[in-house]
Structure 1
Amino acid sequence: MSTKVIVVNGPNLGRLGVREPDVYGHQDLETLRRDCTEWGRELGLEVEVRQTDDEAEIIGWMHRAVDEQTPVVMNPAAFTHYSYGLSDAAHMVTDAGLPLMEVHISNPASRDAFRRYSVISPVATGTITGMGFYGYRLALESVAHLLND
């Protein structure tokens, strides 16, 4: 039996491949969905990739993750820098003893000054930045490791 993991993506990530390809790459959300599903299968994880531009929807997904005891890989995108509501929801995930890996395709620390602060990192189990889509694989590997530890 595989463990379910949700991969949650925030605002503008539905525009992958179109938005700033020099920063985010040329691959799209469907490629990310396919890659994460395959990587998860290799790790014995059932991966569901989600994306929304709606902060309330992500918070709802986090609440359900707690209720259903589902580990989370999250790229909060722009919500990273200011969403205290999402930070509180992320805190609930880790307080429930579930892994929550924060992922960023780019390295926020090497970009605009406002991107250098994350309200998610202090409550996340771990953070992976600047590795492109491969960062999601590392995050899924980390979840699998933590679940088997």
Structure 2
Amino acid sequence: MARSDIIYVLNGPNLNLLGQREPEIYGRQTLSDIEALCRAAAPDAEIVFRQSNHEGELVDWIHEARGKASALVINPAAFTHTSVALLDALKTLDIPVIECHLSNPAAREEFRRHSYVSLAATGVISGLGPHGYELAVRAALRLAQERAGGSARS
């Protein structure tokens, strides 16, 4: 499998509680359900799907993606609004980065309206619930294939 077929999907704090935590905002689907959607969205790609409540672990995975992935999808959750460390790590990448949010942060509390991650993202998808992840994975794969000079398959 070529490098252009590996997509990292990273998930930040509290996303392990999807389906239980504030379902009126984040929905009833679990993170496992979202992982299945991502894999179905790009069946010919290798999806590296991970979640952590620890900022440093997410930074380590972004560093790992530098040498392995052709694109990265990230839902940084609460770190969106606070993490210069994630921003700095993402700025080291030379691959497409799609920022993805289940809810629409711009329509929520004032403090959620600023994203450090957006400063390094190729694109942002928000407010579409789990469907946003499908779109993010497809967009990441297409952008990676276009950069590699290949045709988009999904």
State the match for 1:73 in structure 2.
73
Q: Give 3-state SS (helix, strand or coil) of 2:13's partner.
A: coil
State the match for 1:24 in structure 2.
26
Query: For 1:119, which of 116, 121, 134 is the aligned residue?
Result: 116
State the match for 2:144 in structure 1.
147
User: How far did 1:4 drift?
Assistant: 1.0
Identity %, equivalent residues: 42
- Structure 1 runs (4+) deviating above 2 angstroms are 67-70
Work out the CA distance in 1 between the residues paired with 2:86 and 2:144: 23
State the match for 1:57 in structure 2.
57
CA contact (8 A) 1:16 1:26 kept: yes
Q: Give 3-state SS (helix, strand or coil) of 2:9's partner.
A: strand
Where in structure 1 are there 5+ consecutive unaligned residues?
Answer: none
Count, aligned residues: 144
Q: Give 3-state SS (helix, strand or coil) of 2:7's partner.
A: strand
CA RMSD of aligned residues (A): 1.1
CA contact (8 A) 1:37 1:48 kept: no
Work out the CA distance in 2 between the residues paired with 1:64 and 1:8: 12
Task: Give the aligned residue type for 1:74.
Answer: I
TM-score (structure 1 length as normaliser): 0.92
TM-score (structure 2 length as normaliser): 0.89
